[in-house]
Homo-oligomer: A and B are copies of this chain.
């Protein structure tokens, strides 16, 4: 929108747009262990080296800041999961483990932002809607894959695909958020394995 014109300033750090400064400052504060809810606009502005009033010329409030921050995540777990598709070959479950290994890496990269989004989603309607519409893409995708497998006769027909998809996506998300918040990395392999094999044998290849 505004300022295609970059103004030069004595402070080199100032050259980056103020918005980028604020986004970076917020991420930094979160990474340092602050809870997003406890962070005041004052604190964020100070960390970004910007006046509090300037914050409000770029973001209408903290919720919008958080949503923009969430949008800075390039790769999402969705992108990773889309790549996996059951083929009926015996390496399907192994490939699923590989996918979850990558998903865990991603959760670790964005742990602070994900934590903040989960936090604010629980009491702010705007952020909750923003995030749940993202989750919906996941839910739909997962349910579609299940239905396709059912039609191919590889997954039991008596499974409620939509319900199972909710269990997989919501349950998996909560597990992953907790995992990266408490595990130092040594449990990543077990986590990827349990996630993949539980969904695989519990849903995709649930025995009769």
Interface positions of A (Cβ within 8 A of B): 35, 37-38, 118-119, 122-123, 159-160, 163-164, 166-167, 170-175, 178-179, 187, 190-191, 193-195, 197-203, 205-207
Contact = CB atoms under 8 A, between A and B. Distances in A.
B167 A194 contact: yes
Contacts of A163: 187, 190-191, 194
Per assembly, the copies of the chain total 2
Given A171-B171, A175-B170, A164 B194 contact: yes
Contact of A201 (B171, B190, B207): B207
A200 B208 CA distance: 12
B35 A123 contact: yes
A195 to B, nearest CB: 7
A202 B119 CA distance: 30
B201 A206 contact: yes
Contact of A198 (B38, B118, B206, B207): B206
Given A166-B178, A179-B166, A118 B123 contact: no
A171 B167 contact: yes
A187 B160 CA distance: 10
Contacts of A172: 171
Contacts of A199: 198, 202
A100 to B, nearest CB: 11
Nearest to A195: B167
A158 to B, nearest CB: 9
A170 B174 contact: yes
A190 B164 CA distance: 9
Given A118-B122, A164-B194, A167-B175, 11 more contacts: A119-B122, A123-B123, A159-B194, A160-B193, A160-B194, A167-B194, A167-B198, A170-B171, A201-B202, A201-B206, A202-B206
